[in-house]
Amino acid sequence: MLTIPSPGGKYDPSGQSQRDAIVALDLDLPHLDASSVRVLRTKGYTGTAGDRLLNLVGFTGFESTEEGEEKITLFAVNNRPPIDPRTGKPNISPGQVGANSTIEVFETGPGATSMKHIRTYANDAVATPNRVAALAKDLFYFTNDHGQDKVGIKHQLGFILKTGDVNVCTATGGCRKIADQLKFPNGLALGRDGLLYVPSVGTGGIHVYRILEDHSIKHVQEIKTGYSIDNLSVDQNGDIFVAAFPVAFDMVKAFDDPRNSFPAAAVLRVSKGENGYTVDKVLEDARGEVLPAATTALHDAKTGRLFLSSVISPFIAVCEPKQ
């Protein structure tokens, strides 16, 4: 099962999505078409002031087995609108105070058509969350791409000031910062080698961390990619697939005007061998003619397919391997 988050957007109350959802795509079916796609209905989720809406930035799944039953825990980064304390309604401009960000936890399973809301993580540490990397159903890491600054000049200059950070959350201990001074850390990922990988738009590198017994992390090295990069994903072989921006400035313009921008897109593969890491470019659309302005690339090692999605694109792309 592959899950794709609906695209988010900038702080525009008038343009708040009324239909953000988590969509499941069954990869085991012989052909990918409308019959292999289903929207997961939410159960027990009230949203913001009872609106039941999701405002998704991204999400991560964690598979586990309980009493012989396979379960999937979904950790969704949710940029809810802020609440007016006088009325209890979401009518304060997020452009003034920033998003009311939370990490929502849902539980679902293979073939399910719904997901049950389990809990909400919301505290000072969850400020500008980007994506989650789950170590267990009640233990996960996430990045704040702009650190604690939701709006204002420090938010705008976070890329330069290195305000980004990494946090860890547990079911009993809440969330705490464990690494900082990062240049716009994006969608981190947990490798099959047990290491934590954190991409940085500002450096074009991937920070590698060892996870310690107390759930803190120790920096091991940085993998240079030569590109401005976004989210990471890990396939069944342990290779890391990276959404990359061949022309970084074009991507900046695309975020300002996504409907009329067609930036170049690329996908990198980071492989780990006896002599260290190797970075290869596996796909590029230099003119932005076919692919979305990809911010996430997923590789299905079983079929060889690549799935590309973007937070500013209304569609995903599926690339079949060469025969």
The verdict on pTM exceeding 0.85 is yes
What is the pLDDT tens value at each position of the chain, 323 positions in all? 344 343 333 555 566 777 889 999 888 777 777 667 889 999 999 998 888 999 988 899 999 998 889 999 999 999 988 887 777 777 666 667 888 899 999 999 998 999 999 999 999 999 999 999 999 999 999 999 999 989 888 888 887 889 999 999 998 889 999 999 999 999 999 999 999 999 998 899 999 999 999 999 999 999 999 999 999 999 999 999 999 988 777 777 777 777 777 778 899 999 999 999 999 999 998 888 787 778 899 999 998 999 998 877 777 888 888 87
Contact 64, 74 (CB under 8 A): no
Domain ranges of the chain: 235-323
